[in-house]
Structure 1
Amino acid sequence: MELITPTLQMWLTFAIILGAIAAYSYDRIPLEISSITTVALLLLVFELLPLTGDDGTPTVTVRQLLAGFADPALITIMALLVVGQGLVQTGALQGPARALMILGARYPAGTVILCFLVVMIVSAVLNNTPVVVMFIPIMAALGEKLGQRAAMVMMPLSFVAILGGNMTVIGSSTNLLAIGAYGRAGGEAVGFFDFTVPGTVLAFTGLLYVITIMPRLLVDRSGMAKQLAGSSGKQFLFQIELEPSNKMVGQQAVAGLFPGLKDLTIRMIQRGPEKLLPPYDDVTLRTGDVVMVAATRSVMMDMLNASPDMLTSAEGETDEDSENDGGRRMVAEAVIAPASRLDGRTLAQSGFRAETGCTVLGVQRRSRMIRAALSQLRLEAGDVLLVMGTRTNVMSLRGNRDVLLMESSASDVPHQEFAPRAQWIFAGVVLTAASGMLPITITAIVGAVLMLITRCLNVRQAGRAIDRRVFTIVGAALALGTALQGTGGAAWLAHTVIEVLRGAPVWVLLSGFFLLVALLTNVLSNNATAVLFTPIALSLATELGVPPMPFLLAVIFGANCSFATPMSYQTNLLVMAPGHYHFADFVRAGTPLIFLVWLAFTIFVPWYYGLV
């Protein structure tokens, strides 16, 4: 490799890179601002101080710096996020998740390990964010059965999802970006399973650590959090009329309680004209019973997803209208306002459903325990209603003077009748990409379009799946990579590293390069790290005269070692709240995993590719 003479533009590029790292590390600066500022500085530098080649043409242009925002790898990431959102919005993963919950009742310890394996394998072919979102409540429930708190399973859940992304080309956005940068730099095409073997070795090495050692390093802080629990643990009163197909039929009370209904508290049973109140002695639930159940919103939503016709509205009617209108349903909480017309009336008397088009599923009253059927309950100011309706009807409650809509509580009800469509589309995307019939970019875009056309999700939900932070940071990282390569900075860094390690075996240089990337990815974005170091990896391999694939894998696997900080990967941020983690928890539990993966990489990859 020819020695590169440093230029002013190169040093300014290095300065912008260091500034970007510092900005990304500073929590008070939004990632979007840091990314756009980085791109703006690069545009200014190469506009005011143009760098030209031997033929007088600019080596770094405005078009090249902004091309990252239309990069096929970035478009692929956005499309895969939409495909994953389609699975979430249809509840396509809830069937398998529910089966794991049933298995966990008998074999909780083995089921936790099985869940980790499932998450790791699924994350190899699907964006891991929706996978982690789906498994957070499952892992919390299984952790309780093991006598463990959420802290013992939440961070491991995130880590196994990240490890699973090492096994295929589409396992993570990092893989796609690094391979895209590799292709732009002149590298050969990388097949879907080309690095599955080394990726699997690293993934299972990390899994062994996650299962055996990591729980000993985590601290349970959920005790105090539960004492201070707010809305997440509040219970609503729901009304259920037992049909013959309802699984609650046949449940028998033991010592005054119903042990088969662990997450539910039965407040009253209306059996014809008779009212049965706790404690219940020798009572068996029958078809036709109207049961008043106290439960959290999440528990009842899970039951509603499993049996859409199970709940009876507070007016005493099933929710047929919202089922027949073909629209998507939304659930939200609304507080009865002072001086509301609902105060002192039952819902049937108020005409709430006829006026708003929303069905009241449950009621929460903090002042005292409710022991009456919801259809007969006289509402009071301050009662919280759990309402369900189309998005238009629910959002129209913002202008209703009788209730105060809590918009932050609004969430979509999964359209489970479309789940088979989403599953088939997802399977088609994976199989088509894996077989090489179509490029991954085309496959992902077609999959996203099919999710929209088949109504697995709407445009609003698809737009919400596209994270603007990911979009801006990837665009900025690609701009930095373009500047680094155009100024010769990548080649200069590669030459400097070789000079420092001159005389060392190739596997030593490869190992050191991996460790550098792995440490930097926890400060800088993993996507930015992958884009910045891929051209350097290719330059190093060219300088040493060895195949570039091991050095490309050092970038991919190293950039995926996002374990030591919560902001290094999105799934880490997802589990931080339910696990009640502090920043130091990630440093304490994640740092050893980085070095363990580094050790496994150093031992296996050089041997696997014949570098020792």
Structure 2
Amino acid sequence: MLSLPSYHAMAAMAVTVAMFVAFARGRLSVEIVSLMTIAVIAVGLYFFPLEGTRPTDGFELAFGGFGHYALITICSLMIMGRGLVVTGALDPAARLLEEVFRFNLQIGLLVSLLIALFLSMAVNDTPVLVLLLPIFVSLAAKGAMPASKTLIPLNAAVLIGGMATTIGTSTNILVTSIAMDLGMREMGVFHFTPIVLIAALVAVPYLWLVMPRLLGDNSVEVDATRRMFHTRLRVGVDSVLSGTDMETVREKLPDGISFHNPPTGTLQPQQRLHISGTHEALEDATRVLKGELAPSWVLDRIRRTSRAEGKDIIAVEMTVTADSRLITRTLPSSGIADLYSVAVLGIHRPQRLGVGEKDKYSEGGDLRMREGDVLLVMGLEDDLQNFARNDSLLLLEGAREMPRRSKAVLSGVIMGAAIATASIGIPWIGAGGFTMLKLPIAISALMGAIAMFVTGCVKFDRVGRALSAKVIVLVAASIAIGRIILESGAAAWLGETLSLGLAFLPPALVLAAIMVFVTLLTNFASNATAATVGTPIAFSIATQLGLPPEPLILAVLFGCNLCYATPIAYQTNMLIMAEGSYEFSDYIRTGVPLVALMVTTLSILLVIFYGLG
């Protein structure tokens, strides 16, 4: 006879449901709902403490998420991802994928999903997503598919791949370890891989063709990305332009760059070519053609000062006002570089000012500045502020840090080391002889974040740009909910209720019910809670019903990985939340159909593979 749950268990389930409803309705922000959930748990446990605990013990349960290793891990991974972005370490990989996306957006997304899926089979899923996340954010900024349409499908592909092997996720290891303690035989690394790969054949078309259509375009349209800047590309001695003709140059030209009045004959060092393009296109042109957009002496001065003072180089846009002394002057006659140690990389002229007028160029072919022109200026922040203030320029929003490419290799090595120590391990000689010792992802990620700070790949005073307050409070609230569900006895009562209702169901529905139960625990508590509670229950149900335990244990393992429906279900879900500008409803809308699809497919496959029909 099933007894009623305790008052604490009923309250825990009520708080969980209330939090989910508040998230789904979206009337209150994620931050407010998360903090209210933590407050309700803290106050409730203070006045009605759990049996055998003191009133103040509830504070540790409610607020413990802010110091939990999961939150430290997520913040550390965000910092390392920031390091890869600001140093430009992932630019080569991003350019390679950009070529695929440029050929065809749909093929580019499919290739990316398959790469993510197969990588996470061998490498822990969290480092795989951390490695891919900044690449796709960069691709979105360059005009590929918006990050909001790619990151949730990419995350789902990583999670499906991680489900395919016993080493794919820490949850898989936990489930198989508990099962072995209960007396089940050990599973090999690829023991259930064929089942997951067949299920992936069904899931990937949904991730590829359907899921992006269910997600909105959350990218922000910024006018600056459409501004076309006119500039002079200087041919350097080591430039690929030197000694070539214009026809050869056109073949190497990045998209979005236009030549104006192209010269005839062979190009010579120090020759200046009139080009135009967006800020991103101009950066690509200087990288591919090895040219400069400003005199080399001022660029060298800026870089030397940046290294000496430990300050970042940034690029900003400034509008020429009616009071500016620059009006009617050209860049060579303005003396900007000498006076302020900044470099003007290009000039954008709005169409309303009359592009094409005869007097817009000086005799030397340089553009004369006018009121309303937008200058693209590079330098250190103090110098840029001084320039804007003294020459009556209006600073526009959207300042952009220039990549610290001198540290690109270093940041890549740090990230690689963090991933390797968590997924492959480090050589270690212990009591049992030589072995590869794997560090917990929490330790390897924290060490990587510290290394990013120490080496200057990430500046400590800029760390706020890498972190998301929404993600931090959401993680803390989800940890508190997971603990109260477990410690109040709510999870145990739900498991007992499940076991009583499965006696009269066919094997396929038994497997599906176990998987759905564990999936609910995973999406509303945590996968560790789901594994800890679900594995013994599944083993017990197998004994009571006379079924082999292995398919039921695998139903638990698969259910623990079906964490697509809420952002609080798994740490990778939270990692993409800020970058994709996602709402709670985005996860529900795309994740629930995927969960239903995977539960149905995996249940049928388990029945077929284990002959339970």
1:126-205 equivalent positions in 2, closer than 5 A: 126=127, 128=129, 131-135=132-136, 138=139, 150=145, 155=149, 158-168=152-162, 198=192, 202=196, 205=199
> Hey, what's the Cα distance between the residues in 2 that align with 1:23 and 1:222?
21
Per the alignment, residue 359 of structure 1 pairs with 343
Shift in Å, 1:362: 1.5
List runs of 5+ in structure 1 lacking aligned partners: 144-149, 269-275
1:343 aligns with 2:327: yes
Alignment check: 8 A CA contact 1:346 1:375 kept: no
Identical residues among aligned pairs (%): 22
Per the alignment, residue 272 of structure 1 pairs with none
Q: Provide closer, same or farther for how the CA distance between residues 427 and 89 of structure 1 changes in structure 2, counting only shifts above 3 A.
A: same
Q: In structure 2, what residue type is equivalent to 1:412? A: E
Per the alignment, residue 500 of structure 2 pairs with 499
1:97 aligns with 2:94: yes
> Hey, what's the Cα distance between the residues in 2 that align with 1:70 and 1:348?
56
Deviations 1:402-441 (A, max 9, x none): 222223x122222222122122222222222222343332
Alignment check: 8 A CA contact 1:235 1:295 kept: yes
Bigger CA drift: 9-18 or 342-351?
Answer: 342-351
Q: Provide closer, same or farther for how the CA distance between residues 217 and 559 of structure 1 changes in structure 2, counting only shifts above 3 A.
A: closer
Q: In structure 2, what residue type is equivalent to 1:382? A: G
1:211-610 equivalent positions in 2, closer than 5 A: 214-215=208-209, 230-248=223-241, 250=244, 252-253=246-247, 258=250, 260-261=252-253, 263-268=255-260, 276=261, 285-304=267-286, 310-313=291-294, 318-325=298-305, 326=307, 327-366=311-350, 367-369=353-355, 372=361, 376-394=366-384, 402-407=392-397, 409-434=398-423, 435=425, 436-504=437-505, 508-515=509-516, 530=527, 533-534=530-531, 536-538=533-535, 540-541=537-538, 543-544=540-541, 546=549, 550=554, 552-560=556-564, 571=576, 574=579, 587=589, 593-604=594-605
> Hey, what's the Cα distance between the residues in 2 that align with 1:94 and 1:177?
32
Shift in Å, 1:95: 1.7
> Hey, what's the Cα distance between the residues in 2 that align with 1:194 and 1:358?
61
Per the alignment, residue 85 of structure 2 pairs with 88
TM-score (norm 2): 0.76
Bigger CA drift: 90-99 or 58-67?
Answer: 58-67
Shift in Å, 1:3: 5.6
Q: In structure 1, what residue type is equivalent to 2:313? A: R
What's the secondary structure of 2:127's corresponding residue? coil
> Hey, what's the Cα distance between the residues in 2 that align with 1:73 and 1:312?
45
Shift in Å, 1:479: 0.9
Shift in Å, 1:129: 5.7
Q: In structure 1, what residue type is equivalent to 2:369? A: L
Q: Provide closer, same or farther for how the CA distance between residues 162 and 585 of structure 1 changes in structure 2, counting only shifts above 3 A.
A: closer
Alignment check: 8 A CA contact 2:235 2:272 kept: yes
Deviations 1:374-409 (A, max 9, x none): 9943322221121222345446678667222223x1
1:63 aligns with 2:60: yes
Alignment check: 8 A CA contact 1:346 1:379 kept: yes
What's the secondary structure of 1:362's corresponding residue? strand
Deviations 1:251-292 (A, max 9, x none): 5349xx946535244343xxxxxxx36xx8x76655443112
Alignment check: 8 A CA contact 1:418 1:456 kept: yes
Per the alignment, residue 273 of structure 1 pairs with none
Q: In structure 2, what residue type is equivalent to 1:466? A: L
Shift in Å, 1:481: 1.6
Alignment check: 8 A CA contact 1:357 1:393 kept: yes
What's the secondary structure of 1:319's corresponding residue? helix
> Hey, what's the Cα distance between the residues in 2 that align with 1:600 and 1:514?
11
Q: In structure 2, what residue type is equivalent to 1:261? A: L
List runs of 5+ in structure 2 lacking aligned partners: 426-436, 544-548
Alignment check: 8 A CA contact 1:397 1:404 kept: no
Shift in Å, 1:209: 5.1
Shift in Å, 1:46: 0.9
Deviations 1:524-548 (A, max 9, x none): xx58554664554246336436579
What's the secondary structure of 1:363's corresponding residue? strand
Bigger CA drift: 33-42 or 58-67?
Answer: 58-67
Q: Provide closer, same or farther for how the CA distance between residues 383 and 560 of structure 1 changes in structure 2, counting only shifts above 3 A.
A: same
Alignment check: 8 A CA contact 2:171 2:560 kept: no
Q: In structure 2, what residue type is equivalent to 1:344? A: T
Alignment check: 8 A CA contact 1:79 1:444 kept: yes
Q: In structure 1, what residue type is equivalent to 2:413? A: W
Shift in Å, 1:74: 2.3
> Hey, what's the Cα distance between the residues in 1 that align with 2:58 and 2:99?
58
> Hey, what's the Cα distance between the residues in 2 that align with 1:420 and 1:345?
41
> Hey, what's the Cα distance between the residues in 2 that align with 1:217 and 1:445?
33
> Hey, what's the Cα distance between the residues in 1 that align with 2:566 and 2:97?
28
User: How many residue pairs were aligned?
Assistant: 568
Per the alignment, residue 38 of structure 1 pairs with 37
Alignment check: 8 A CA contact 1:425 1:450 kept: yes
RMSD: 4.9
Q: Provide closer, same or farther for how the CA distance between residues 517 and 559 of structure 1 changes in structure 2, counting only shifts above 3 A.
A: farther
Alignment check: 8 A CA contact 2:157 2:204 kept: no
Shift in Å, 1:248: 4.5
Q: Provide closer, same or farther for how the CA distance between residues 304 and 207 of structure 1 changes in structure 2, counting only shifts above 3 A.
A: farther
Deviations 1:158-181 (A, max 9, x none): 413431244449x9xx96689899
What's the secondary structure of 1:345's corresponding residue? coil
